[in-house]
Amino acid sequence: MKSRMTILLAALLIAPAALSPARPTAKGLLLKNGNVLTISGGTIAGGDILIEGKTIARVGKNIAPGPATDVIDLKGKWVMPGIIDSHSHIAIEGNVNEMGDLITAEVDVKDVLNPEDINIFYALTGGVTSIHTMHGSANPIGGRGIVLKLRWGGSAKDLIFEGAPTTSKWALGENPKQSNMTGPGRARYPKTRMGVEAAIRKEFEDAKQYMREWDDYNRKLKDSRAGKGKKPLPLPPKKDYRLEAVADILRSKDWVRCHAYQSEEMLSIMRLCKEYGVKLVCFEHGLEGYRIADELVQYGVAVSTFADSWAYKWEAFGTLPHSAALMAKRGVLVAINSDDAERMRRLFNDAAKTVRFGGLTELEALKTLTINPAIILGIEKYTGTIETGKDADLAVFSRHPLDPYTVCEMTLVDGKVYFDRAKYLDDRIKAETEKKKKEEDAKKAKDKKIGAEE
């Protein structure tokens, strides 16, 4: 789901190189006098956050700034850890789905990152600092995804979240079955849920065979080097990137993120993953996950879901906006995501819904946007809470983030301010005034010319 989003940046006439943050990187940055929602250590009213380089150096009250430290007075505004959207498709160039084949595990979103995607900026206006962007849900195994930090203005390399595990995107249900594709086209296997699982199993068996062939070859190579074994050397097996990628999944190297809706197909794939030793980390959407909450907890798989999207297709009908809370209350690790560029900007509004639908506390609601997705993505060492030693990924709001009238005012990634609403509005007013003046001048010149001609 891609929305068409375009935007006027802070300064209309600035070249791309200058699109970097509003504030220069001083040695340190002190955010003082805010309501700090640390997530891990309670809320500090009138609290301060000291940032050194890209790290949070101290969190507390009455922190004194150092000599080379910029100071921003938050004047009572609310600060939370930067929001982490663990299911997104932005910053990808070209089609988000490789629809040609069934299993396309070798396809990698890292090859097609587009750091110029304006949706990155949009996400920053909504307090998002990190995202997990990946292949769509057209194939049972779609390809590799990647975790990004929204360092807007940098190159593709600059966006990559170092240290984050690689992921593999799977999909079950109506999308890989292409049940809802209208228009002319060839029918593609599989057309049933059991077919989807059968396709994954077959690929696993093929990959295991491939791994055996390579093990065999490597053994023969070792033997011949050590002097044993027959000559000549056998030809190595042909390198197959697709089977290599599936082999990585079988070696538990990639963290599997599986798009699924129906409760029973989730149970079935959990069984399959256990059988093959695959690291199944999270179900995407999992709208019927509330039905198998205990099983999810027992298995140790998380769910990254919507606050309340539903009824757009049949498998999204048997659900309710309480599902996130229902799962969380029974111990499932739940994250709330957007899966949509426009929605990413208002994830904090979405989290508020779990308070009413299902009765999560405000802290639990905020966790679904911060520490929970961080754990699901394997980056909780670096981000997800406001603690000493973690990256300074922060979002500043005019009111409590779950307040209906809150607005995101500032977003920092790695201690740098990448979005500042006050400056944005300022620049806009300047640009509009300038444009008006230009138009008036042009009109005056035109009138004068006509006057002179008469």
Partner 1 sequence: MRKCTILLIGLFGIGLFASAQTSPKILIKSGTIIPVSGPILECGSLLVENGKIAAMGKDVPAADGALVIDATGLYVYPGFIDGFSHFGLAEIGAVAGTVDVREMGKENPEVRTAWAINPHSVHFGTSRINGTTAALVAPQGGTFPGLTALVKMDGWTFPEMQVKEVATSMINFPITPRPPAEGVSAQQETKVDVTSQLVEKIKDYLNEARRYLKLKKTAAENPGLRPPPPDPKYEALAPVLDGTLPVIISVEKAKDIELAIRFVQEQKLKAIFRGCAQGFKVADKIKAAGIPVIIDSLYVGPSEPEDGYDAPYRNVVELAKAGVTICFSSGEDPALGKDLTYHAAKAVAFGLDRNEAIKALTINPARIFGVESRMGTIEIGKDADLFITTGDPLDAKSDVKHLFINGRHTDMVNWWESLYKKWTSRPIK
Partner 2 sequence: MPRKILKQTVPGVCLFLLISLQAQLSPQESLHRVWAVKDCRILSLSGPAVEKGSIIIRNGLIEAVGPNIPIPPDAEVIDGAKLTAWPGFTDALGQSLLKWPEEKFDAAKIYSGDFTDKDKGITPELKAFDLVNLGKAAIEKYHTHGITAAEVLPDKGVLTGQASFFSLGAPDKNKALLLKENAFGIGFSPAGFLVYPNSLMGVVAYLRQAFSDASYHALAKSRWQKEMRGSERPDYNGQQEILAGYAASKKSFIFLCRNQHDIRRALSLADDWKIDFFIADLGSEASLVIPELKKSKAKVLCTVAFKAPGTSLYSQLGKEQREKAEKDIYPKNPARLAEAGIPFAFSSLGTDDPKSFIEGIQKAVEAGLPREKALDALTGAPALFFGLDKALGTIEPGKIANLVLATGDPLTKDAKTRYVFADGQKFELKEAKAKEGEKPAVNVSGKWELSVEGGLKLTVEFMQEEGALSGKMTTPFGAFDFTGGTVSGKEVYFEMNITVGGQQLDLYFSATVEGDTMRGSVVQGTQGSAEFTGKRIP
Among 117, 265, 364, 393, binds partner 1 (CB under 8 A): 117
The contact pattern for partner 2, residues 38-77, with x = CB under 8 A and - = no contact, is ----------------------------------------
Query: Judged by CB, which is closer to partner 1: 50, or 412?
Result: 412
Which residue in the set 32, 87, 169, 242 belongs to the binding site for partner 2 (CB under 8 A)? Answer: 242
Question: 361 is in the binding site of which of partner 2, partner 1, none (Cβ under 5 to 8 A by kind)?
Answer: none
> Is 49 strand, coil or helix?
strand
Q: Residue 89 binds what, of partner 1, partner 2, none (CB under 5 to 8 Å, by partner type)?
A: none
Please list, residue by residue across 189-220, b when 16 or more beta carbons sit within 10 angstroms of its beta carbon and e when fewer do.
Answer: ebeebeebbebbeebbebbeebbeebeeeeeb
In sign, the C-alpha dihedral spanning 29, 34, 37, 43 is positive
Select the binding partner of residue 322 from partner 2, partner 1, none (C-beta < 5 to 8 A, by kind). Answer: partner 1
CA gap 397, 369 in Å, rounded: 15
Rounded Cα gap, residues 258 and 284, in angstroms? 6
How far is residue 287's CA from residue 138's CA, in Å, rounded to a whole number? 18
Q: Considering CB distances under 5 to 8 angstroms, the limit depending on partner class, which of partner 2, partner 1, none binds residue 318?
A: partner 1
Q: Tell me the CA distances in angstroms from 441 to 61, 447, 453, one per residue in order.
A: 53, 10, 18
CA 125: distance to chain centroid? 15
94-113: which residues touch partner 2 (CB under 8 A)?
A: 94-101, 104, 106-109, 111-113
Choose among partner 1, partner 2, none what residue 321 binds, the Cβ cut-off being 5 to 8 Å by kind: partner 1
Instruction: Identify the residue among 89, 257, 343, 390 touching partner 1 (CB under 8 A).
Output: 343
Site for partner 2 in 184-203 (CB under 8 A): 184-186, 188
Q: How many residues sit close enough to partner 2 to count as binding (CB under 8 A)?
A: 45
Report, in Å, the least distance between residue 416 CB and partner 1.
19
d(CA 357, CA 184): 41
Q: Quick check: 232 binds partner 2 (CB under 8 A)? A: yes
Q: Taking a C-beta distance cutoff of 8 angstroms, is the pair 322, 290 a contact?
A: yes
- Choose the stretch contacting partner 2; rule: CB under 8 A; options: 68-76, 87-95, 340-348, 387-395: 87-95
Rounded to 10 degrees, the C-alpha dihedral 194/199/205/206 comes to 170
Estimate the crossing angle of helix 263-276 against helix 193-225, to 10 degrees.
10
What is the bridge-based pairing of β-strands 43-52 and 28-37?
antiparallel
Kindly report the three-state secondary structure assignment for every residue of 53-88.
CCEEEEEECCCCCCCCEEEEECCCCEEEECEEEEEE
Q: How far apart are CA 149 and CA 267, in angstroms?
A: 33
Smaller CB separation from partner 2, 55 or 114: 114
Pick one of 67, 75, 405, 453: the residue that binds partner 1 (CB under 8 A).
Answer: 405
Quick check: 321 binds partner 1 (CB under 8 A)? yes
Q: What stretch of H or E contains 334?
A: strand 334-336
Q: Which residues bind partner 1 (CB under 8 A)?
A: 2-8, 93-94, 117-118, 121-122, 125, 174, 179-180, 290-291, 294-295, 298, 308-314, 316-322, 326, 330, 341-343, 345-346, 349, 352-353, 355-358, 402-407, 428
Q: Which residues bind partner 2 (CB under 8 A)?
A: 6-9, 12-13, 15-16, 19, 92-101, 104, 106-109, 111-114, 116-118, 135, 143, 156, 184-186, 188, 232, 235, 238-242
